[in-house]
Amino acid sequence: MKTIFRLVIGSLFLWINNVNCQSEMVYIKGGTYTPLYGRDSLQVSISDFKIDVYPVTNQEYLEFVKEHPKWKRSKILSLFADKSYLINWKSDTELGDNQNLKAPITNISWFAANDCCQSQGKRLPTIDEWEYVAMANEKMPDARRLENYNQYILSWYEKPKTFNNEIGSSFKNYWNVWDLHGLVWEWTSDFNSVLISGESRKDVDNDSNLFCGSAAIGATDLMNYAAFMRYAIRGSVKAKYTMKNLGFRCVKSIENNN
């Protein structure tokens, strides 16, 4: 009897996890923070929202593709993804031999990530939402001034092939969110709103918040090399690009009736 009960509970969990991209979410209490770009006085307000605990996995994305055939590799329009889309999959519905079901999905475009989130009533996080959650370490909501926080992220940049590690293998932060640093880069809805021209030393001259240079006068924290790199990678991609080290997770706004 007990065994059957366990089985039922177990399969219930399985079912929950298997519905595409329908992963567990946690509540993030909004607030204000100072982004990397802009002046010290420039604070950004973040409303309350919910965020996926883990990046979307290979398995979850596989289910999504099965239900939404237009995102199959053979069907995808070249407008929505470049030639590396799901490049390591064996077929439209099979992962590659060395790919881990529980590793984050990568080699997907912004369009694909965006649609996957929308298909479950969610959306991609904004840069500010993502950065707001990701500036936490295990204990503090804003750990950006800590040397070991930056060092941890920089050391990830130096570890090869982390895209094939299982979700939940890096660390759980202050908000109970896993793997913001340590596995893959993640898409944001407005990734191209902070543009880097590619000539990072020149971006200093740009008027809006288009900048990135490490020598930039406008940066609030010149030691935050990790953040500079994230802005650089966001500036280097286009919405149809796919990369081996770039995945995503979804967020959900909280309706505020007051």
199 or 207: whose CB is closer to other proteins?
199
Contact 230, 185 (CB under 8 A): yes
By C-beta, is 46 or 232 nearer to other proteins?
A: 232
Shortest distance, CB of residue 128 to other proteins, whole angstroms? Answer: 19
Residue 220: CB minimum distance to other proteins, A = 14
Q: 164 φ, ψ to 5°?
A: -100, 10
- Binding residues (CB under 8 A) for other proteins: these are 82, 84, 147, 150-151, 154-155, 157-158, 160-161, 185, 196-202, 212-215, 223, 225, 228-229, 231-233, 235-237, 241-245
Q: For other proteins, give the closer residue by CB, 97 or 147.
A: 147
Query: What b-and-e string marks burial along 99-108, b requiring 16 or more CB atoms within 10 Å of the CB?
Result: bbeebbbbbb
Least separation in angstroms between residue 67's CB and other proteins is 27
**Nearest residue (CB) to other proteins, 88 versus 120:** 88
Distance from chain centroid for Cα 167: 12
Closest distance to other proteins from the beta carbon of 108 (Å): 12
Shortest distance in whole angstroms from residue 213 CB to other proteins: 6
Query: What is the SS3 assignment for 24?
Result: coil
Burial 223-252 (b: 16+ CB within 10 A, else e): ebebbbbbbeebbebebbbbbebbbbbbbb
DSSP element (H, E) containing 247 = strand 246-247
Identity of the residue, 175 or 241, whose beta carbon is nearer to other proteins in the bound complex? 241
